[in-house]
Amino acid sequence: MKCEWVRENIVLQVYGELADDARHELEQHVARCADCAAELKAEQEFHALLAQDRAADATPNLVAASRMRLQEALETAKQGSFFSRLAFDPANWLRQVKFSPALASAILIFGFAGGIVTTYKFIPHSTTGIVQGPATVPVQTSIAGIDSISQDPNTNQISIKYKAVSEEQKQGSLNDQDIQQLLLYAAHNNYNSGVRVDSVDLLAKRSGDLQVREALMYALQNDTNPGVRLKSLDALGNYVKDDTNVRDAVLRALVNDDNSGVRIEALRLIEPVKADGSVRGVLMALAAKDQSTYIKSQARTMLAQLPEID
Amino acid sequence: MRGRMAGQERRIDDTMLIREAQRGNRAAFEELVRHYDQAVLRLALHLTGTEQDAQDVYQDAFLKAYKNIGNFRFECSFYTWIYRIVTNLCLDHLRKRNVRKEDAPVAKDPSGGEYDLLDQVPDVRAGANPERDLMRRQLGARISGALEKLTPRERMVFELKHYHGLKLRTVGEILQTTEETAKNTLFRATQKLRGALADMR
Ligand SMILES: [Zn+2]
């Protein structure tokens, strides 16, 4: 029984794929069982034999030729899904509803006051393409999802395309309340993490706003995409000193995030407030027993730089 | 440590490129291609055995990626996503080749059983030591012959693990199966290979 288990796991041992405890078990057994020891040796020898044959790298010529051929084909290739994304896709819409219960009850956006109306472009979509309509703005709109966010580098105008009953597009500056509302909505709810990255990116520029910071903290704690979390973290960085909610959120990320890049960034950000009681407590816990040796040693270094407390 | 941060940067970097590519920015997509294409080409080259076939897999894979990048939802890493496309194309290639092989008459060598594989081996760059080159070529030929006998899936798992050093967990993700299944497949593959190459030790 034991020998059978060992035979099945020898290959994993040779490829360094055994968990530490299983490896220990296997090594213990092999030290006592001559048959299994012989089998391990045979597998290792076989591995060494195979290792003499390596997969050759592609030659620079092949790489260059392949790239050129691809470039040529890309000239004429259509990004099917990119263009089809502009059209209304019922399946996709249902998917969004499924992933975001808030959508089912529709989000209301207010504040389309008369004075600013002219700065908006309202572009309804149909399955036939984009029709640029007159600047008609609904007083309130139900939003069913946000498709894309982009900023024109020349004018700093932000375009947000979102789904209502039909698809609409809104343009305005970052100071625009409606734009802010849409960005906050996108950071919270959008199914496409690329769109969430974009909204967090833009929101970061307004992190002085309390509501924006709340959205960023929400993203830091809840977003499934580490890239989005990292962006939120960086946007919050300047507020660890003055906003204790932000400090707590960064500490939570430092302790709980499952992405080591996010954790390391969080650790870097709390450095200026390491003398703070709550921060010190977290650092001590990390220094004592964190699974990441880097974080453990960094926490120790940071603590060592602090003046002793009585 | 430094390497880890660099890896993190690369992912963020890629995220931006993916977003740009999703907006239809072809230059961003081409940059993304350059982050992955040498590894892809190496895999395809070893699996298909000829530069021509490897180039076809390369072309098909990245065109497919370009056309479908709008559907990429960041639910897995881009690395896994692109490898999924590539391995699927390679598996198709292997399956087609297996069908062709069954139709073709099997060549036997005098010692009884193996293909005469020397002719099928891709050119190995000539080195300083012709004798050692020949030895290596013969070994390579025997190993290729043994690899040919694996099922396409066994071959793929072995290829990704042995020649490309991927973690079995990643292999499982790429092939959309469990790590456990990948382990079992690797076990079967190595057993078969040891059997086929038993006389070489
Ligand atoms: Zn035993």
Position A190 scores a pLDDT of 64
Please report, rounded to a whole number, the percentage of residues in chain A having pLDDT higher than 70.
71
- Chain B touched by A309 (CB under 8 Å): no
Q: Would the pLDDT of A220 be above 50?
A: yes
Position B12 scores a pLDDT of 60
* CA B32 to mean position of chain CA atoms: 19
Lowest mean pLDDT across A103-107, B56-60, B69-73, B103-107? A103-107
Lowest mean pLDDT across A251-265, B76-90, B145-159? A251-265
User: Are the C-beta atoms of A197 and B19 separated by less than 8 Å?
Assistant: yes
Q: Ligand 1 centre from B92 Cα, in Å?
A: 40
**A142 three-state secondary structure:** strand
Q: Ligand 1 centre from A17 Cα, in Å?
A: 20
Compute the mean pLDDT over every residue in chain A, rounded to the nearest whole number: 74
Shortest Cα distance, chain B CAs vs residue A195, angstroms: 8
Q: Which residues have a Cβ under 8 Å from the Cβ of A277 and sit 6 or more positions away? A: none
ipTM at complex level = 0.81
Q: Would the pLDDT of A41 be above 90?
A: yes
Distance CA A285, CA B51 (A): 55
Position B55 scores a pLDDT of 95
Residue B157: pLDDT band (50, 70, 90) is very high
Q: Provide the chain A residues 97-126 that lie in CB contact (below 8 A) with chain B.
A: none
- Chain A touched by B190 (CB under 8 Å): yes
Residue A140: pLDDT band (50, 70, 90) is very low
CA atoms within 13 A on the CB side of A161: 18
Q: Which residues have a Cβ under 8 Å from the Cβ of A152 and sit 6 or more positions away? A: A158, A159
- Chain B touched by A54 (CB under 8 Å): yes
pTM (two decimals): 0.52
Q: Would the pLDDT of A97 be above 80?
A: no
Lowest mean pLDDT across A47-51, A112-116, B134-138? A112-116
Burial of A201: CB neighbours in 10 Å, binned 0-12, 13-18, 19+: buried
Shortest Cα distance, chain A CAs vs residue B100, angstroms: 24
Position B132 scores a pLDDT of 72
Q: Provide the chain A residues 200-219 that lie in CB contact (below 8 A) with chain B.
A: none
Hey, are the CB atoms on B42 and A66 less than 8 Å from each other? no
- pLDDT tens by residue, B161-189: 999 999 999 999 999 999 999 999 999 99
Angle at B124 between CA B118 and CA B129, to 5 degrees: 100
Q: Would the pLDDT of B113 be above 50?
A: no
- pLDDT tens by residue, A50-87: 988 888 889 989 999 999 999 889 888 876 544 444 33
- Chain B hits for A80, CB-CB cut-off 8 Å, are 67-68, 70
- Chain B touched by A260 (CB under 8 Å): yes
Residue A156: pLDDT band (50, 70, 90) is low
Hey, are the CB atoms on A81 and B71 less than 8 Å from each other? yes
**B65 to chain A: nearest residue by CA?**
A79
Q: What share of chain B is helix, strand, coil (3-state, %, to 5)?
A: 75, 0, 25
Q: Would the pLDDT of A174 be above 70?
A: yes
Lowest mean pLDDT across A46-50, A288-292, B9-13, B119-123? B119-123
More confident residue, A203 or A107: A203
Position A1 scores a pLDDT of 55
- Chain A hits for B187, CB-CB cut-off 8 Å, are 8, 11-12
Q: Tell me the CATH number for domain B2-200.
A: 1.10.1740.10
Shortest Cα distance, chain A CAs vs residue B11, angstroms: 8
Q: Would the pLDDT of B54 be above 80?
A: yes
Position A131 scores a pLDDT of 31
Shortest Cα distance, chain A CAs vs residue B127, angstroms: 14
Distance CA A14, CA A197 (A): 41
Q: Would the pLDDT of A276 be above 50?
A: yes
Distance CA A204, CA A199 (A): 8
Distance CA B96, CA B111 (A): 29
Position A108 scores a pLDDT of 29
Shortest Cα distance, chain A CAs vs residue B55, angstroms: 6
- pLDDT tens by residue, A123-135: 333 333 333 333 3
Q: Ligand 1 centre from A39 Cα, in Å?
A: 9
Q: Would the pLDDT of A26 be above 90?
A: yes
Position A206 scores a pLDDT of 82
Q: Which two tokens stand for residue B44?
A: 């395809």
Q: Would the pLDDT of B195 be above 80?
A: yes
Hey, are the CB atoms on B15 and A8 less than 8 Å from each other? no
More confident residue, A6 or A296: A6
Ordered domains of chain A (ranges, CATH): 2-48 (no CATH), 115-166 (no CATH), 177-304 (1.25.10.10)
Domain boundaries along the sequence of chain B: 2-200
**Span A28-35, mean pLDDT?**
95
Hey, are the CB atoms on B69 and A82 less than 8 Å from each other? yes
- Chain B touched by A148 (CB under 8 Å): yes
**Span B127-133, mean pLDDT?**
67
Hey, are the CB atoms on B70 and A56 less than 8 Å from each other? no
Question: Look-up: residue for tokens 């709008």?
Answer: B70
Ion ligand 1 residue ranges (Cβ < 5 Å): A 3, 33, 36
Q: Which two tokens stand for residue A52?
A: 């003499």
